[in-house]
Amino acid sequence: MSDEQQVLILGGGLSGLSFAIALAIEEPTLDITLLEAHPFRSGTPNPMDTRGSALNLHSVELLTRWGLWSALESHSGVIGDIHVSHRGHFGSTVMTAGELEVPALGYVVENHELGRALLARAEQLGVTVRAPVRCVALVADAEKPAVQTDDGERLTADLVLLAAGVAKEWFEGLGIGVEERPTGNHAVVFNASFPGAQQGRAFERFTPHGPLAVLPLPSLTRSEQRFNVVWSVSDREIETLGSLDSEAFISAFQAAFGWRLGRVSNVGQRSQWPLVRLVASEQYRSGFLLVGNAAHTLHPVAGQGLNLSLREAGMLASELAMAVRKGRRIGQLGSLNHYLTGAIEEQHFITRSTDLLATLFNRRGPLLDAPRNLSLALLDLIPAARSRVANLGTGQRTARNSVG
Ligand X SMILES: Cc1cc2nc3c(=O)[nH]c(=O)nc-3n(C[C@H](O)[C@H](O)[C@H](O)COP(=O)(O)OP(=O)(O)OC[C@H]3O[C@@H](n4cnc5c(N)ncnc54)[C@H](O)[C@@H]3O)c2cc1C
Contact residues: ligand X, CB under 6 A: 10-16, 35-38, 45, 51, 53-54, 134-135, 163-165, 167, 187, 189, 230, 273, 292-293, 300, 303-307, 309
Nearer to ligand X, 332 or 396 (CB): 396
Nearer to ligand X, 189 or 323 (CB): 189
Sign of CA dihedral 324, 328, 333, 338: negative
285 vs 254: CA distance, rounded Å: 48
* Shortest separation between residue 216's beta carbon and ligand X, angstroms: 12
* Shortest separation between residue 153's beta carbon and ligand X, angstroms: 12
* Shortest separation between residue 382's beta carbon and ligand X, angstroms: 25
| Burial degree of 87 (CB within 10 A; 0-12, 13-18, 19+) | middle
* Shortest separation between residue 82's beta carbon and ligand X, angstroms: 13
Nearer to ligand X, 311 or 386 (CB): 311
Our CA dihedral for 396, 398, 402, 404, rounded to 10 degrees, sits at -100
Selection from 56, 69, 361 nearest residue 204 by Cα:
361
Give the H or E element holding residue 183.
strand 178-195
* Shortest separation between residue 15's beta carbon and ligand X, angstroms: 3
* Shortest separation between residue 210's beta carbon and ligand X, angstroms: 11
Q: Which of the 8 DSSP states describes residue 73?
A: G
- For the chain, helix (H) and strand (E) counts, in that order, are 13, 21
* Shortest separation between residue 397's beta carbon and ligand X, angstroms: 15
Nearer to ligand X, 69 or 324 (CB): 69
**Residue 211 CB neighbour total at 10 angstroms:** 24
Contact of 357 with 302, CB cutoff 8 Å: yes
Nearer to ligand X, 16 or 216 (CB): 16
135 vs 166: CA distance, rounded Å: 14
**Residue 400 CB neighbour total at 10 angstroms:** 7
Map 155-216 to HEC letters.
Answer: EECCEEEECCCCCHHHHHHHCCCEEEEEEEEEEEEEEEEEECCCCCEEEEEEECCEEEEEEE
299 vs 352: CA distance, rounded Å: 11
